[in-house]
Amino acid sequence: MSSSHPLVCIFFKLPPSRQSLLRIHEIAWNVFLPQLNRLNDTFEAVQAAHPSPEVNIIWSEARQFAAEKMNKLQDVVYQNYETGSHFLEFAEALQLGRSHSDEYDEFRYSTCQAYHWAPGSYQSRISGG
């Protein structure tokens, strides 16, 4: 990367597009995952030198908890992507002046699905509430 700014900062400065939401997934794979793998490798090296069953249990629980939170976050991203895509298709149909009932129905269905999928708010879904 030629810029000295962190990838996450650059991502949020990008203009919105259909593809930009899915770049969050790229950030997870290209930035966060390598760091987590390094942390895990370091942990395993320390465990090899100084084994501790208690620490191993804590580390396993922390990894499981983090994985659950990331799965919930991924669900939110994909649901928002779907809703946004259907909205753009509906807006395009309106702009082109063609019949837009199918696009509207898909957008409305996607919006209802997002609403029912996350009662309260997405934040409560992520935090486990």
Give the tens place of pLDDT for each residue, 20-64. Answer: 556 666 776 777 778 888 888 888 898 899 999 998 898 889 888
99 domain-assigned: yes
62 domain-assigned: no
Indicate if 46 and 74 belong to the same structural domain. no
Q: Distance of CA 36 to CAs 11, 56, 91, Å?
A: 20, 16, 40
Indicate if 42 and 76 belong to the same structural domain. no
Indicate if 85 and 126 belong to the same structural domain. yes
pTM (predicted TM-score): 0.52
37 domain-assigned: yes
Indicate if 73 and 114 belong to the same structural domain. yes
107 domain-assigned: yes
* CA distance linking residue 24 with residue 55, whole number of Å: 31
98 domain-assigned: yes
pLDDT given for residue 54 in this prediction: 92
pLDDT given for residue 21 in this prediction: 57
Kindly state the average pLDDT of the residues 63-70. 82
Q: Which two tokens stand for residue 120?
A: 């309260």
Please tell me the total count of domains within the chain: 2
User: Among 51-65, 67-81, 108-122, where is mean pLDDT lowest?
Assistant: 108-122
61 domain-assigned: no
56 domain-assigned: no
Top pLDDT among 6 and 114 is at: 114
Which tens digits make up the pLDDT trace of 87-102?
A: 888 888 888 887 778 8
Q: If you search the block for the tokens 């779907």, which residue do you land on? A: 82
Domain that holds residue 97: 68-129
Indicate if 44 and 73 belong to the same structural domain. no
